[in-house]
Amino acid sequence: MTVFDFVIRNGMVCDGSGNPWTRLDIGVSNGRIRRIKKGIEEKGRYEIDAGGLVVSPGFIDPHSHSDLWCMKPQVHYIRALQGITTEVFGQDGISVAPISESTKPLWQKQLKGLNGDIGSWPWNTVEEYLGYLDQMKMVGNATYLIPHGAVRTLVMGFEGRAAKVDEIRLMGELVEEGMKQGAFGVSSGIQYPPCVYADKEELSEICKSAAKYDGCFMVHIRNESNQSLEALDEVIDVARMSGVRLHVSHFKVCGNVNRDKFSVALEKLDAARAEGVEVTFDQYPYTAASTVFHAVLPPWMHDGGTEDMLARLQNPQTREKIKWDMANNGEYDNTVKNNGWENIVIASVASEKNREIQGKSVAEIAKLWGKSPDDTAMDLLIEEEAAITMIIHWGEDEDVIKAMQHPLQMVGSDGVFGGKPHPRLYGSFPRVLGHYAREKKVFPIWEAVRRMTHAPAQLLRLPDRGLIREGYQADIVVFNPNTVLDRATYHEPLQECVGIEHVLVNGAWVVKDGCFTGATAGKVIRRQLT
């Protein structure tokens, strides 16, 4: 008798807890896991023979930039191909809601290079944005964080100054409103405008509004290079002051000259945990970063937003000041000084005119254009109206492994679409399973699975995802532990991974025999009010 929609048989079940695999069958009906036992007698409408394969919960990506791309299944499906069933949007303090009719054009321009372009945004509030996603056909599930920068802009525009007491109070109220509308926490990118202008008091107050609802604080710290230790101290102190759960995004220390800080940074996280601060971090498994290209500019250049920044780039005297800062200033997270133009690669541009430079370093482009690298960078920003992303080669694999083995680590991709993207967009999760767990033996496969499933579910307080449990949502991945691997490279980043054989999202067959089925079963997951 057919009782289940799916029966997955004979698999090595890594249930997300970190325990070694157990050979079990799984029965799925109506989008949920209904039975887990050895030798399910009943038949499924669909049967998957998982002999020799690992069965795990769907992977949860705690750091993603699919906020708009999720509305384009024909593009976004590549996330499911690597086993990702749930993503966290609203990252780095810069995202698409809450906004107003006056701030909307600012953010549409600011985020075009990062989150893509879908035309007009028919929403303002977090609730309206999530409601809009409810109507979209999505491949995977979406969760949301309230972006600090969007909230700050609603209160005080892109002004490059510290907030006043009444402005901070209004920001806190907006964060609380977003939490009530279903967000899981608040994010900030203290390296990016306008978040860069915030002080510790401002950060603490917005975090108190998230902590009131047991939300988390996911943060791109103020500096990931020469002042990374001070930047970690800052956010740990914010967590102490506010009581919020702290999660450090894409943990790293950039630049070989700063490698001595890496172990110290991990020790700071351990010390915070020992003190009682609930801190975790995510990490992508590569030695290169990726972000918006205008991040090469010093912070003072971003006062007023993108239009003002582009206008300043036209001023010869201002350009000389920018050049000096990029070459000499160590008081901010100086991408150019710490890594060099030869290690900064253009990933995507908006115009057809400059498509040929995608995948080339700024140093290479400068030679082609017959200009200095700094003038090349500034001219390119003007030509592309700042809609550019970049890849920054920052470190050594030894440090990646050191962080990967830390008990507070979880896997995140920080995947950014467009042009010649960072290979992490296509390959992060299979790379951890294949390259690091299997080939380099960094940890057992079941521990890798825990860091991709239950660890981020615990961070978000998701009640019914992240584990293989009866009654849980049927977000399930079946992969081959002997072949799973990323294929995307820096030179050829649009390469699909191998070894992810089947993916179920809410009980729908989204990936079958390694291929996207066209199913769009993703849902918006809201934080449940208690």
Find where tokens 């920044």 sit. 309
Q: Taking the model in full, what pTM does it have? A: 0.93
Alpha carbon distance 418, 432 (integer Å): 23
DSSP 17-28: SSPPPEEEEEEE
Encoding tokens for residue 391? 């890849």
User: CB-based contacts of 30: which residues, under 8 Å, 6+ apart?
Assistant: 5, 507
pLDDT values of the chain reduced to their tens digit, one per residue, 530 residues: 668 999 999 999 999 999 999 999 999 999 999 999 999 999 999 999 999 999 999 999 999 999 999 999 999 999 999 999 999 999 999 999 999 999 999 999 889 878 888 889 999 999 999 999 999 999 999 999 999 999 999 999 999 999 999 999 999 999 999 999 999 999 999 999 999 999 999 999 999 999 999 999 999 999 999 999 999 999 999 999 999 999 999 999 998 889 999 999 999 999 999 999 999 999 999 999 888 899 999 999 988 888 999 999 999 999 999 999 999 998 888 999 989 999 999 999 999 999 999 999 999 999 999 999 999 999 999 999 999 999 999 889 999 999 999 999 999 999 999 888 999 999 999 999 999 999 999 999 999 999 999 999 999 999 999 999 999 999 999 999 999 999 999 989 999 999 999 999 999 999 999 999 999 999 999 998 76
Phi-psi region of 506 (alpha: psi -120 to 50; beta: other; left: phi over 0): left
- Name the helix (H) or strand (E) containing 217: strand 216-220
- Radius of gyration over alpha carbons of the chain, in Å? 22
Of 16, 115, 63, the closest CA to residue 428 belongs to 63
Taken in order of first residue, the domains within the chain and their CATH numbers are 59-287+394-512 (3.20.20.140), 292-393 (no CATH)
* CB atoms near residue 402 (< 10 Å): 15
Contact in structure between 509 and 145 (CB atoms under 8 Å): no
Alpha carbon distance 450, 482 (integer Å): 18
> If DSSP codes are grouped into helix, strand and coil, which group holds residue 393?
strand
pLDDT for 204-252, tens place per residue? Answer: 999 999 999 999 999 999 999 999 999 999 999 999 999 999 999 999 9
HEC readout, 147-180: EHHHHHHHHHCCCCCCCCHHHHHHHHHHHHHHHH
Encoding tokens for residue 83? 């086993």
Catalogue the E-assigned strands of 349-480: 389-393, 409-411, 476-479
Helix axes 200-211, 228-242, angle to 10 degrees: 50
* Helices and strands (H, E) in the chain, number of each type: 18, 21
